[in-house]
Amino acid sequence: MPTEIDRTLREGIAAIKAGDKETGREKLLKVIEMDELNEQGWLWLSAAVTDRDERIICLENVLTINPDNETAKKGLRKLGASLPERKPVAPEPEQEDKPVITHGGAPAHDGIDEIESWRKGLYERPADDAPVDRKVARSRRRVERRKAKALAQAKAAAEEPPAEDRDLLDLVNAWGAAVILQRQEVRAEVRMGDFGRVLVSIAAAVVIAGIIGVLTLLLQSAVGAGPQAQLEAFAAQFEAESGTPLGLDTSSAAATAVIGGVTAFSAAIGVLLTVTVYASCVQLACRWLGGDGDFIHTWGAMAIGSIAGQLVALVPNVLSIFFPLAVVGVVLAAFYQLAINMVAVSTAHTDFGLARAFLALIAGSILLMVFVCVGVFCLSFAIGALGAAA
């Protein structure tokens, strides 16, 4: 009959496959508490923990138990970690010399004190340090180096408000946090993966784009550089060359309303398509780079990044209308927008740092350009074929 360890292991694996990593982690930690040399327990725990260093520890423990486990080897290579040195397996000592876990396994929650106690206890060993201890134990020095990072992440996670306690005001706070590159607040919002809240961010990005488009039009018209001035110049040139008056009254309220409406609509649609299509390309790149977030997470992150980016670019864009040298500020704002998107995308995928987020954004841009070029080519070919047929 299946033992309690077997049942708990199966439950943990099933939870992970179902997407419930938290439950799976708890089950697998119980397995390791009961049998700290459980190879499958450590292997599946590496898929349940979220920290890169913890995954490396789990996979290294698999290889210390079974140095021939190819899955663990592949996992370490993918994480960029070196394989642990293979040592000959010594005969197991008496039961009392086995490694001991003094704090009863994993903490019940992610509190800082509990994690520290658990980590200290997990790697405590008897004083005589039998050969099997060296096989299972992690280096004390490596644990101490990683503990500071793990505790900092635990502290940050403890400061995140629970997902169910976040309201729309918290969503607005996340938009502002993206502007000043506060990753923790953005992560708390993005990791919810709530479709409705993502739509709110998309709608806000579209509305902001429309408002900024109209504002820019009005300011350009004030200095004689807007679409109205361009239409007037075109009409004057046409009348001078053809002698036929067009009768365009670009100064009328109706013309202003039409031009303003078209400007706002085009700006809003541009943001909507950019956020949605570009987010799709970035998501493909993220999956290729090992990201575990779905499209909703990436879409929501890109929507928040779009809002923050538009707000950051507003002032330099307005100044560039009146002061040509302010275009330098526009360029700097573009780089800052890239930083905002890097922060946003890094929150959508576990273990994603800024470097991989940057690569995902670049790869997504390349994919987007490829799709656009292919689409334009196909459209041109279709139009040419229809023209030839006519």
Mean pLDDT over 55-63 rounds to 85
Looking at the structure, tell me whether residues 199 and 238 fall in a common domain: yes
Looking at the structure, tell me whether residues 168 and 154 fall in a common domain: no
Q: Which of 119-128, 166-175, 242-251, 277-286 shows the lowest per-residue confidence on average (mean pLDDT)?
A: 119-128
Domain hosting 40: range is 4-159
Q: Which residue has the higher pLDDT, 87 or 100?
A: 87
Looking at the structure, tell me whether residues 138 and 188 fall in a common domain: no
Looking at the structure, tell me whether residues 55 and 96 fall in a common domain: yes
Looking at the structure, tell me whether residues 149 and 202 fall in a common domain: no
Chosen domain end from 159, 176, 191? 159
pLDDT at site 124: 46
Q: Confidence band (pLDDT; 50, 70, 90) for 314?
A: confident
For 247-293, how does the pLDDT look when each residue is reduced to its tens digit (9 = 90+)?
A: 555 555 555 566 666 767 777 787 888 788 888 888 898 888 888 77
Does the structure show a pLDDT above 60 at 336? yes
Looking at the structure, tell me whether residues 150 and 109 fall in a common domain: yes
Chosen domain end from 159, 184, 216? 159
Looking at the structure, tell me whether residues 119 and 142 fall in a common domain: yes
For 67-86, how does the pLDDT look when each residue is reduced to its tens digit (9 = 90+)?
A: 888 888 888 888 777 776 65
Looking at the structure, tell me whether residues 183 and 93 fall in a common domain: no
* Single-letter amino acid, residue 288: W
CATH number where 128 lies: 1.25.40.10
pLDDT at site 141: 47
Dist. CA 276–CA 381, nearest whole Å: 26
Looking at the structure, tell me whether residues 80 and 104 fall in a common domain: yes
Q: Which of 143-157, 174-188, 217-231 shows the lowest per-residue confidence on average (mean pLDDT)?
A: 143-157
Mean pLDDT over 95-118 rounds to 44
| Residue 174: count of CB within 10 angstroms of its CB | 27
Query: In sequence order, what are the residues at sequence separation of 6 or more whose Cβ sits closer than 8 angstroms to the Cβ of residue 297?
Result: 190, 191, 193, 348, 349
What's the number of domains the chain is made of?
2
pLDDT at site 253: 52
Looking at the structure, tell me whether residues 28 and 126 fall in a common domain: yes
Looking at the structure, tell me whether residues 155 and 182 fall in a common domain: no
Does the structure show a pLDDT above 60 at 96? no
| Phi-psi category of residue 247: left, alpha or beta, with phi > 0 → left and psi -120 to 50 → alpha | left
Looking at the structure, tell me whether residues 141 and 174 fall in a common domain: no
Q: How far is CA 81 from the centre of its chain?
A: 22
pLDDT at site 331: 86
Does the structure show a pLDDT above 80 at 22? yes
3-state secondary structure of 102: coil
Chosen domain end from 119, 140, 159? 159
Q: What is the mean pLDDT of the chain?
A: 73
Dist. CA 351–CA 345, nearest whole Å: 11
